[in-house]
Amino acid sequence: MRESGPAMSGKIDDSIDASFEAFPEEPEGLGGKFAELALSFIGLVFPPAAVAKILADQFRPANRFERIEYLLRGLSIGIKALESPVGTDREKMKEIQAHIEAPRFQEAVAAACEEAVRATSLKKVEGLAQVLAGSLTPTRWSPKDEDIAILIRDLAQLGDRDVDVLQKLSLAFGGLMLNNPALPSNIFTENNSSLERIIEKESDRDEFYSTCGRLIGFGLAIDETWPMNRTQPYERCIRPTRRGLSLLGYLKKFAS
């Protein structure tokens, strides 16, 4: 897999190797040591077998390479999927190839490989591959000099609930943002009803807003300031940012 093309060589290999140096090889007798381990508190036991499985699944070199292989296979599938819409458009093909060979994309692949090593599920790795492949054809929301490596590291820290809430924010405000790409602040002052309907269906309002706070921290959402004379005290206008919509576009959860 690591000799599959120009985008998978050079500094990417160096970064992958460096990431593995942080994880020592399995010491002799590791299995026996953890077979004797039991973490207990007031009669509750965390079984040694569970500890051994976690360590084996997460830290054995073979399993780490397997997650990277899964990532690169997903990236390869994503790149091949681009060939159909591009067709015989040579200029578009050259543009995509230039993205693949660019140092910034190679840095993003290296970052994704490192995050894949740390990932606790293949679903997370699949999301990283989607963002990598999606970034080769930027969405209308993508910044001109978008740093995909940073977006990859942010996604690695997000959970399913974070992405779910971001998608709900896009349902409330995405259409409005599509029709008003300049995003003048006054367009949001009368559009809170759709967000409020979404929040009313949530079982825990505080949890929803807490998740919105996480998204704001990652620059994927923003809390708009509303004129007080036009806003109920409990209402908030939390919308996705362009960066948030760009991420959803790469994950195929919003119009690109």
- Which of 245, 116, 61 shows the shortest CA–CA distance to 171? 245
pLDDT band at 12 (very low <50, low <70, confident <90, very high): very low
> pLDDT tens digit string along 187-201?
666 556 778 888 888
| Chain segment 198-232, per-residue pLDDT in tens | 888 888 989 999 999 999 999 999 987 765 555 55
**Distance in angstroms (rounded) separating the CA atoms of residues 212 and 203:** 15
Indicate the pTM of the whole model: 0.75
The dihedral over CA atoms of 71, 171, 218, 242, expressed in degrees to the nearest 10, equals 90
pLDDT in tens, 161-172: 999 999 999 988
pLDDT band at residue 10 using 50, 70 and 90 as cut-offs: very low
- CATH 1.10.10 segments of the chain: 160-250
Q: Which CATH number fits domain 160-250: 2.60.40, 3.40.50, 1.10.3470, 1.10.10?
A: 1.10.10
